[in-house]
Structure 1
Amino acid sequence: MAVENGGGTQAVERAMSLLACFSEAKGALRVSELCAMTGLGQSTVSRMMSTLDRMRFVRQDSRTGLYHVGPAAISLGTLALNSSPVFRASRQVAQNLAHRSGLGANVAELDEFTLRYLCNFEGPRAPKSFSMAGRSAPLHATALGKALLSAMSAEQVSEYFQAPLPQLTPRTITDCQVMAAELEQVRARGYASEVEELAFGRACIAAPIRDNLGAVVAAISMSGPLSALDPRAPHEDLALLIIEAADEISVALGHSPALRDDVFISL
């Protein structure tokens, strides 16, 4: 939440807090919604949004008055993605995986105690009308998140579960001990799975991506509706696909299978 009073740097903080609202929203936003999300007054928000509009970081619909992300913000996001070694190493691999499996292929990296999507591609059996790049998701409710959690120390996993975690569906794991047992399975078989823990009717399998030091820095997944992907059924072929894709990206990042694979993520 932004602060109303202050000097120089406060203006930058306010502008960034307003732009950050769009990463949490699913569409365009009204001034009143931006006020509620940031705690800033209406006059402040209106003035700041006019400035951001003039600089093309947002655009206002002249008919509805709603604001949406502008081309300058999109350009910055694209530059950020292209500067990511994981994105560059994984983009084509994920695209090939989606084509080969017919499912969605997603790559995400750790962002403190959440995950942030770098790219996603749709297969014919798992269509999407939007991009996941830049969006975040909880670690405990996704296969991608479990793949990332599996490389953390027991202390780090325990720290993550100290905060209240959202129970997104009845199947979402919010108990640290239950997750610890789940992560042991992930480490043993080399991939994570999730069935209706993030959303009803959806499932996902994921494998960790390692850097040149052997540390897990990201994960890649295949996702889709239960009609196309049910991890409770035999799926050795899909598991092999996702592990091979993760290994291909890891090698591109400089990882050697000869390195120890028990390097914990450093937060």
Structure 2
Amino acid sequence: MAATGGTASGTQSVERALSLLSYFTDEQPERRIAELVELSGLGQSTVSRLVAALESLGYLVRDERSGLHRIGPKVVELAGVALNQSAVHRAGRQVAQNLAHELGLGANVAERHGDRMFYLCHFEGPLAPRTFTLTGRSAPLHATAMGKALLSGLAEDEVRDVMGPDYPAYTRKTITGLAGLLDALAETRARGYATEVEELAFGRACLAAPVRDRSGAVVAALSVSGSLSAMDLAARQDTLAARTVEYADQISTGLGFLAHAHPAAL
């Protein structure tokens, strides 16, 4: 019984420690102990002990001058291990980099986790510079071209199960209901790519194509993105679509997809 209690206590400590890491975000990359106490609802001594353990293991680092904590190098190391074990990341990384270089736009590879998309890699082109990486971030499926490309491989009932009937609006152009989303997915399947124009953020546009694995299932998406002026979809949509679809097919081939073996996927 004592061993069982010890195991339960140890599991609880692990859960609490990991929950503290989740409070470090792009919006709040640094935290004080007092903030973590307030956010977690745990006692001061418990949080201090857990933070000290996370520091000693390299999961958190402390700025000696400010006293603020931030994510440590061990998290980056583990993230690198996870990415390097991803077949999609291995097949897509160089392809996305080549696409960004050719078009001068941002190029991204993402996969679906539940009702969110998760960026596996991100490259900037000179026409779409960023001061931060999207790798590791998540975004809503219904408001992004990549999300629509990822959902395009699902049947209507599967889309309903994953997404539900209603979704939050990020701009006035965001799709907020199942009917509108299903229409967008039908269009995506018909032309082989999805578009997004100010549906997630003002002044931004994106075009994405699905990526398939050996079985023909949609397992990822490749996109090009940038400002409205850089993308210039009114004049360049056909060109951008052709290149993105071609590069997405390269990733699919790297994952073992054979188009002639899955004609229904074309």
For 1:139 and 1:76, the matched residues in 2 are separated by 26
Q: Counterpart of 1:173 in structure 2: which amino acid?
A: I
Matched with 2:247 is: 245
Matched with 2:85 is: 83
Aligned length: 258
Unaligned runs of 5+ in 2: 1-7
**Matched residue SS, 2:174:** coil
CA displacement, residues 170-218 of structure 1 (integer Å, 9 cap, x when unaligned): 1111111011111100000000100111111101000011001111111
Kindly report which structure 2 residues correspond to 1:109-124, keeping only aligned pairs within 5 A, or say none.
Answer: 109-124=111-126
Matched with 2:224 is: 222
Say if 2:99 is the partner of 1:97. yes
Matched with 2:129 is: 127
* Aligned equivalent of 1:211, options 203, 210, 213: 213
**Matched residue SS, 1:131:** coil
Matched with 1:107 is: 109
Return structure 1 stretches of 4+ with deviation > 4 angstroms: 23-26
Structure richer in helix, relative to its length: 2
Say if 2:65 is the partner of 1:63. yes
Distance of aligned partners of 1:13 and 1:199 in 2 relative to their CA distance in 1, 3 Å threshold: same
Q: Counterpart of 1:156 in structure 2: which amino acid?
A: E
TM-score, with normalisation over the residues of structure 1? Answer: 0.91
Distance of aligned partners of 1:208 and 1:33 in 2 relative to their CA distance in 1, 3 Å threshold: farther
For 1:227 and 1:72, the matched residues in 2 are separated by 39
For 1:124 and 1:258, the matched residues in 2 are separated by 36
For 1:196 and 1:154, the matched residues in 2 are separated by 25
Q: Which moved more, 1:169-178 or 1:44-53?
A: 44-53
Q: Which has the larger radius of gyration?
A: 2
Assess if the C-alpha contact under 8 Å between 1:151 and 1:262 holds in 2: no
What is the root-mean-square deviation in Å for CA atoms of aligned residues?
Answer: 1.8
Percent of residue pairs bearing the same amino acid type: 52
For 2:87 and 2:156, the matched residues in 1 are separated by 28
Q: Counterpart of 2:96 in structure 1: which amino acid?
A: A
Q: Counterpart of 1:166 in structure 2: which amino acid?
A: P
Assess if the C-alpha contact under 8 Å between 1:23 and 1:135 holds in 2: no
Distance of aligned partners of 1:66 and 1:235 in 2 relative to their CA distance in 1, 3 Å threshold: same
Distance of aligned partners of 1:174 and 1:233 in 2 relative to their CA distance in 1, 3 Å threshold: farther
